[in-house]
Amino acid sequence: MNWETLDQFKDWWLTTRAIRPPFNDFLFRTDIATCFVLFREGQYQVELVLGDPGTIVKPHTHPHIDFYFMYLTGEFYPYQDDGKTINKKEDMQKEDPRTGAHMLLGFPIYADHLKKHGGVITEKGAAFINIEKWKDTKPTSVAVDYSGESLGPKHDALIQAYKI
């Protein structure tokens, strides 16, 4: 495929929902989340992120990645570097009575590689998808391309193992 922009890739992937996990470097585990690569081609990839219940995602950046974060399910309250919650739609952190899915299913949030962000995952846990464009390095995981306070010893070991 020949995508020139993250938006082109996002639109293509949301239309096709292509799943083609790579043979290598597909599963990444930190102290608070598991990341699984659903699709990777060139500088583009899609990751499924499963956030552990009752955890805090500390402020951080992903220096080599621009991406869209998209809700799947659970309760996750993301925030940007100013500490303000991006989505304060508490009334939408629930089941959609029409579909049985999360009210925010597919709600996109753009994350620039330079902008700090983080969030709070409630006791329910959370699942979301990142649709990514890697700038100047081989794609691995958002858990690896991470600049900020460590999420714990597993996270430290993961970052050390890949040394971007």
Q: Which residue has the tokens 């070991």?
A: 157
Query: For residue 111, what pLDDT is reported?
Result: 81
Q: What is the pLDDT of residues 55-78, one digit of tens each?
A: 998 889 999 999 998 988 888 877
Residues of the chain with pLDDT > 90, as a percent, come to 63
> How, if at all, do strands 108-111 and 65-80 pair?
antiparallel
Give the model's confidence band at 86: pLDDT under 50 very low, under 70 low, under 90 confident, else very high: low
Query: For residue 140, what pLDDT is reported?
Result: 97
Query: For residue 95, what pLDDT is reported?
Result: 80
Query: For residue 68, what pLDDT is reported?
Result: 94
Query: For residue 84, what pLDDT is reported?
Result: 53
- The full set of domain ranges for the chain reads 6-162
Query: For residue 79, what pLDDT is reported?
Result: 73
Options 2.60.120.10, 3.70.10.10, 3.90.1580.10, 3.40.190.10; CATH for 6-162 is 2.60.120.10
Q: What is the pLDDT of residues 12-68, one digit of tens each?
A: 999 999 999 999 999 999 999 999 999 999 999 999 999 999 999 888 999 999 999
pTM: 0.88
Q: What is the pLDDT of residues 116-157, one digit of tens each?
A: 888 889 999 999 999 999 998 999 999 999 999 999 999 999
